[in-house]
Each structure stands twice: as structure tokens, then as C-alpha cells.
Structure 1
Amino acid sequence: MRSKFYKLTAYNVLANITVPLTGLIDTAILGNLDTHIFMAGAALSGILFDFIFWMFGFLRMGTTGLTAQATGEKNDKESLLILVRSVILACCFGSCILVLSPYLKEIGFQILKGDPAVKSAGISYYDARIPGSIAVLCNYVFTGWFLGRERSASVLIATVFANAINITLDVWFILFLGWEAFGAGLATSISQFGMLVVFIFLFFRELKTNPSLKLSVLKEKTVYSLRGFVSLLHLNRDIFLRTLLLLLTFSLFRNFSSEAGTTILAANSILLQLILVSAYLVDGAALATESLAGNLYGEKNGKALKGLLYLALYTSFLFTSFFVAFIFVFPNFTFGTITKSSEVISLLVDYQYWLLPVLEIGAVAFVLDGFFIGLTRGKILRNSMLISVVFFFLPVAYFGKIFENNHLLWLSIAMLMTGRAITLSIQAKKFFKTAGLPSMIQNAN
């Protein structure tokens, strides 16, 4: 299992790291223009896209857990049914986003705080990126399906291809055509369609290499039965609420940052991008945990499940430790590469130390998230996030807003990670002590 875990983790890390690195390149290209208004505008618009897209993150997470369990049970028919139903849901949700996009923009930018120039840049970014909605949600589904089948290499290929398109178009649209924030949004939108094309190609290749995956299943009435969709939505409801709460916290954090001024918003946005880089590194282990936990649960192999969790936690600590150490040793190189604003760099140096508690404690939360997603225990994830937001994050963030203290705002993020790590650890211990591990070992024997 150890070799399989590290193989999946390596593929996941390579695939994941290109996503935030592309975001950093977006930020760096916009940040090296004559003004950081366009960078701040894209960051402000990013708050809306966090809501619009990532609240449908259950399409990826739910698909991964269910597919992994079906794969562990060697039920390829069910695996294909999960994919088809999830793609149908993704197309429906994506179409709704497009129809409602003018209203989402109007309401969103009325709520979000920022200078008029920053808002104008954010609206330009929004208009260019929103057409890719259906492609984004379908990519969530295909990513989850391939991860659930332990095909991380396929996710790596599609992700690298999409991000190569994004970076190339960023340089062309922003630096050569002068489209600024609009160019950054358009590059992202086009790259998502490119990623979807690659996923469809890889899906048909998967059909050829796995005879048990038969498209003839699409002719069966059960594929489109209401019962099948209701079952899928029931699981995804809890994951949706968990994701929505997480997005609310980071959106509040960035909105409170914007009230403190454009420079603070720019600095915090860069630190959040760095946190995303680390999170995607740790997510390599978390995604491998999702896949293998689901497979092992499907196989009723409880003993291996416990070993998997410890292995994932150990690996995630190593990832975050190396990442934080690099930033602390080379702060001028790290921050100077992203922005040329001396004022923003000065703030980044002041607040960089918050990366340590946020990332190290967050590593525990990310891995435990992956563990329970693999087990399709959405209720546990929902309750953990609710407790963490209400009792750990909000009180501290509220005082940070009142006193306009950025250190308190960062403390609120650290407290959020602490709450998630504590609550999920308690649930993991309970799982192995009671209904989880013992009964599974008994069933396996």
C-alpha cells in the first residue's frame, strides 16, 4: 500500500501544483504591470468564483468517494453510472450558472468591498471567465472519477495541458494585447474547455483498456432514474454545505481585507495564493487518501485504513515543513517574483509568519478531509466545518474587522484550521474505536 500511496501522491502533487502555480503566474503577470489595481480586481472577482464554482466542489469529492468504493468492490458498471449521473448534474448546474450570471455579478459586486477602479477590473475578469462554467464543473466530475479509479496520471495529463494553455494565453492576452484583467479571465476560461477535451479523450481510452466498462449501460433505464440522482444528491448535500461554509470564511477574510485597503488586500491575496500552493501539495496526499480509503473501505480492509491515515499525515507534515522553510529562508526571492511593489512586499514580510500555524495545522485537516471523503461520510465533514466556522473563526475575524487588525484576521484563519483538525481527529478516533475498524475487520475475516 505504501508504494501505491506514494505513486498516487506523486501524480497528484504534480497535477495539483500546476493549478496554484498558474494562479501565481496570473497574479505575477498582473502584479508586474504599472499598477496593482488589476491584480486586486482579479482577486476580488476570485471571491465570486470561489462561491460560484467551488460550492459545486461536491461534484469532484462525491464522485471520488463513490467511484473509489465501487472500484474497491470491482463494480465497474456502478463506476460508470456514477460518472454519467454526475456529468448530467454538472451540465445542469453549469447551465444554471450561465443563465443567472448577470444577476450573480450584480449582487456579488454590490456586496464586495473595493475601490471603484478595483471593482471595474474585477467585473472585466468576471465577464471573461464566466463562459467556462459548464467546462469547469464537468472537469470536477472527470477529475473525481479518474481519482476514484486510481488514475491520477490521467488527471496530471489533463491539468498540465490546461495550465499550459492558461499560461500561454496569459502572456499573449495581458502582455502583448494589453487586455489586463479581462485577458487573465479569458485565458482561464479557454483553458477549462481545453482540459475537458483532454478528459473526454482519456475517458474513451479508459473504455478501450477496460472491457468491463461498457457504454451499453447508458441504454438502461436505471441510469436516468430519479432514485439514482436522489441518492447522489443526498451525499453531495452535506459536502456542499461543508464547502459553502469554507468558502464563506475565506470570502469574509478577503472582504475584510479589502476594507483595510487595496495594499492589504493585495498582500493577503498573495499569501492566500501561497497557502493554496502548499494546500495543493498536501492535497496530493489527501487525494491519494481519498482514493485508497474508498478502495479499502469497499474491500472491507480496516487495518490497512488506519495505516493509510498515519502515512498520509506524516507525508503532509513533510510537505508543509519544506514549503514553509523555503519561504522563510528566501522571502525576498519568493515575494519579489510575484510583485514589484515595495509596499506590498513589506507587508508580506510582516505577515509571512502566519503561514506556519495555518499550513501545519491545516495539513492535518486536509488529510482528514480526504479520509472521510473516501468513506463518503459527508455529515462528519459538514458538522466539523460548522463548529469550526461558528466557534473558532467568526469571533476572531469579527474583532479583526472591528479593529482593522490584519494579524487578528490571520489568527482567525489559524483558528479555523485548528477547529477542523480537532473535530475531525475526534471523529477519526471514534471511527476506529467503535463502528468503523473492528466491524470492518470482522467482515473481512
Structure 2
Amino acid sequence: MTDSRERHELRNTFEKTWALAWPVILANLSLPLLSLADAAILGHLPDPVFLAGVTAAGSLMAYVFFGFNFLSMGLSGFTSQAMGREAYSDVLQVLKRYLLVASVLIVLTLFAHPWLIQAGVWLISPPAGVAEQSTLYLQIRMWGVPAIVLNITLLGFFIGMQNTRVSLYSLSLTQLMNIGLNALLVFGFDLATAGIAIGTVISEYLGLLLVLWHLRRTLLELTPKSDPDQSTLSFRWSDYRPIFKVSRHLFIRTFVLLSSFVWFNRLTAEFGELALAANGVLLAFFTLISHFLDGTAAAAEAQTGHAFGEGNPQRLKQIWTVSGILNLGFMGLLSALFWLCGNLFIDVLSEQPAVIAYAEQQLRWVVLLPLSGGLAFWLDGVFIGARRSKDMRNSVVSAFVLFVCLTLLWGHNHSALWVCFNAFFAVRSVWLLTVFYKKLWP
């Protein structure tokens, strides 16, 4: 009877995990469609400067997305644990506090945006014509920062509420509207770079409206269950100290993680344009890895926090077993897919024979990436749910220090750099796994 009950609980846990994971995976897989559509739209214009300008500026906007991701991760952990405790007043209180913090950051970003744009364009140092288009694009996109930051923050709230479908709905609407508006503004109104930027900003606010509509429905369910006196927004520093403590660790973790990619590409550039172009193709494989494994991470994140709030170690063990096995399955699947079909993917991503040949030489290291770094993705989700942000920070900082040392000592060719890059993710995985078994496993 006990074995039958355990099998039933594990099956229910798998169904719950998959129900939380697949919307995130599907939403993530839709993200490259916008870049492809923008490239196709601008690629039909007579001057390549428009495409070059938007591409260069787009890489800078990616830092905005990733830079504010700590808000999503932190709010998700607090929300899921409060839901596990059935402390609905705490859910509303922490949501209000995070929205206040997000609002302050939005105001500061908008105030500083002229200097941020100037510094960003200087950093990438494009030709004069490209710099002009990049600056125009960024000046317009900055007015979408409120929508970007609020979307990121609120989607973390919905992950904590175990409602990952909101992310799918929001991203789907944003992507479809963005593609349509961009095509209309570029071809119908002849706006080129400005059209791409304006269409993107409008679609971001439309996506935010959809998220706010879902938020309203959720608040209508939560408010009757909460105590109005305990749900009122407070401004005491002691109430915000846990948020800033978690956010500080997550921000450092995100910054160092981004720095690892910058360092990797910087060293690759020393081997020439061909190596750098091949890196651009091969890192698209990493994007695919993150798109898939973020799904299992989000599922582990939401359920871990909820079970921690309940104080249910047996439930935690079931969640980690099921989500961990699912993550291992994706790791093996992706590695096998890259091994069997990697050459085909490279052919799709590039039409230049020299780049294709160079990328194929380094493909073996990409095949190893899901195996070396896959556990780190899943454990990030576990640690966010458990609110162990300091351990996440330590794993990335330690791995980055080792990564830099290895590249300085051994990074004498491109293959060696890719070995070091795999080592960076392997160290993260081993570090987090060790802490997981020592401090979290029941």
C-alpha cells in the first residue's frame, strides 16, 4: 500500500512539474523568432547600417533584461514560500515591496539613460553610421524600461504562484504584436531603425497590460484571504532588509555570470574575426540549452519554495527527485541532439563556408555543455526556491575566478578556451550539488 501511494505521489509530482515546465520552455523557444523577424525586415532595406545598428544595440538591451532578473528570482522565492505557509498577507506585502523597489530602479534608470546609452555605445565602439543608428534605437527603447522591469518582476511573482502560463501568454502576445508592428512601421511608414524600436516598446506595454490583467485576477483571489492590516505597504527599513540581502547576492551572481560571457568573447576575439563569428554561432546552442533547462528550473523553483513554506521535507524530496530526473533527461537529449544534428544546426545558422568549417571544429565542446552545466540550471531553481542566494553567488564567483585563471594559464587556442568554458559550468554544477547535499537534502 505504501509503495503504491509513493508511486502515485511521484506520478502527481511529475505531472505538476511538467505542467509548470512546458509553458516556460515554449515561451523561451519563441524568443529567437523576434530576432529572426527583425533581421529579415531590416535585411530587406538597401543599407545594412540599419541591421548593424539594431544588432549592436540589441546586445546592450540584453544587459537590461538580465540585469533586472534578480527582481524576478527574489520575488519568486519569497512568494512561493509564503504560499506554502498559506500566509496570503505576506504574499501581498512582499509583492508591494518588490514593486516599490522596481519602481525606484525604473526612475533611476530613466534618469541616467543618456549616460548609460553613451557608455554602452562607446563600449562596443561601432563605426559612426552604426553608432548613430544604435543610439537612436536605444533612446527609443529606454522608454520601454518601465514595461520591461515590471514584466520581469511580475513574471517572477507568477512563477512563485505556480502559474507559469502567464509567461507563455505574455511573451506570445508580445512577440506576435512586435513582429506585426515592426513590419508595419518599417515598410508602411518607412521608419527603419526607429520603427523597430517603437514597435518593440508598444508591444512591451501590451504584454504588460496582459500581465496586469492576470495580476488583477490573482489579487481578487488573494485579497479576501488576507488580513488588510498586515497587507498594508510598510516603509520600515527592517521590512526591506531581507529583500535587499537576497537581491544583492542575486545581482552579483547575474553580473559575474554575464561577465563570464564577456570575458570568453573578449579572449576569443584575440584569435580573429573568424573565431569570433564561429563563437556567435556556437553560443546559439547555449541559448537553446538555457531555453530548455530554464523550464525545469522554474518548476523546481516554484515547488521548492512552496514545500519549504509548508515545512514538508518528504515533499521536497519528491520534487527534487522528479525535477532532477527530468532535468537529466533534457541534458542527455540536448547533448545527443547536438552530437547527431549539430552540423545541420550550424549550416542553418551560417551561410559562410569558413565560419561553418571553423564552428564544426569546435562542435565537440558544445556537445559537452549540457552535461557540464545542466545541473547548475536546475540547482539555480532549487536554490531560488530555498532562498539560498548567497550559495548561488558563491558558486558563480568561485567558478569565474577559476575560469579566468585557467584561460590566462591555458587559453592559448580556441579549443582550450572552450574547455575552460565547460570547466566554468562544471565547477558551478559541482559546487551547487555539494551544497545541495550538505545543506538541503532531507
TM-score (norm 1): 0.85
CA displacement at 1:342 relative to structure 2: 4.1
After superposition, what is the alpha-carbon deviation per residue over 1:317-359, rounded to whole angstroms, capped at 9, x for unaligned? 3224334444444456534444444444444333333322222
Change (3 A) 1:268 1:169: farther
CA displacement at 1:425 relative to structure 2: 0.8
CA displacement at 1:34 relative to structure 2: 7.8
Q: Distance in 2 between matches of 1:354 and 1:124?
A: 38
- For 2:105, the equivalent position in structure 1 comes to 93
**Is 1:309 aligned to residue 320 of structure 2?**
yes
SS state of the match for residue 362, structure 2?
helix
- For 1:283, the equivalent position in structure 2 comes to 294
Q: Residue 63 of structure 2: which of 48, 51, 63 is its match? A: 51
- For 2:255, the equivalent position in structure 1 comes to 244
- For 1:69, the equivalent position in structure 2 comes to 81
CA displacement at 1:187 relative to structure 2: 3.8
**Is 1:418 aligned to residue 418 of structure 2?**
no
SS state of the match for residue 162, structure 2?
coil
Query: Could you tell me the percent identity over the aligned residues?
Result: 26
Contact map agreement 1:174 1:183 (CA 8 A) in 2: yes
Change (3 A) 1:153 1:36: same
Change (3 A) 1:206 1:166: same
AA aligned to 1:254 is: N
Q: Distance in 1 between matches of 2:72 and 2:349?
A: 30
Contact map agreement 1:13 1:284 (CA 8 A) in 2: yes
Structure 2 unmatched ranges of 5 or more: 1-12
After superposition, what is the alpha-carbon deviation per residue over 1:393-444, rounded to whole angstroms, capped at 9, x for unaligned? 212444687x5x43333333212111100110110011146xxx2xxxxxxx
- For 1:188, the equivalent position in structure 2 comes to 200
Q: Distance in 1 between matches of 2:59 and 2:407?
A: 17
**Is 1:431 aligned to residue 431 of structure 2?**
no
Change (3 A) 1:37 1:154: same
Contact map agreement 1:15 1:160 (CA 8 A) in 2: yes
Deviates more, 1:166-175 or 1:196-205: 166-175
AA aligned to 1:105 is: I
Q: Residue 369 of structure 2: which of 349, 353, 358 is its match? A: 358
- For 1:369, the equivalent position in structure 2 comes to 380
Q: Distance in 1 between matches of 2:179 and 2:318?
A: 39
- For 2:7, the equivalent position in structure 1 comes to none
- For 1:394, the equivalent position in structure 2 comes to 404
Structure 1 unmatched ranges of 5 or more: 438-445
Q: Distance in 1 between matches of 2:139 and 2:401?
A: 33
Change (3 A) 1:322 1:150: same
AA aligned to 2:422 is: A
CA displacement at 1:65 relative to structure 2: 0.4
Q: Distance in 1 between matches of 2:54 and 2:227?
A: 41
**Is 1:144 aligned to residue 156 of structure 2?**
yes
CA displacement at 1:167 relative to structure 2: 2.8
AA aligned to 2:415 is: H
CA displacement at 1:19 relative to structure 2: 2.5
Q: Distance in 2 between matches of 1:260 and 1:407?
A: 11
- For 1:198, the equivalent position in structure 2 comes to 210
Q: How many residues align?
A: 430
1:209-228 to 2 correspondences below 5 Å? 209-210=221-222, 212=224, 220=232, 222-228=233-239
**Is 1:169 aligned to residue 177 of structure 2?**
no
Q: Distance in 1 between matches of 2:46 and 2:358?
A: 19
SS state of the match for residue 334, structure 1?
helix
Q: Residue 269 of structure 1: which of 264, 280, 297 is its match? A: 280
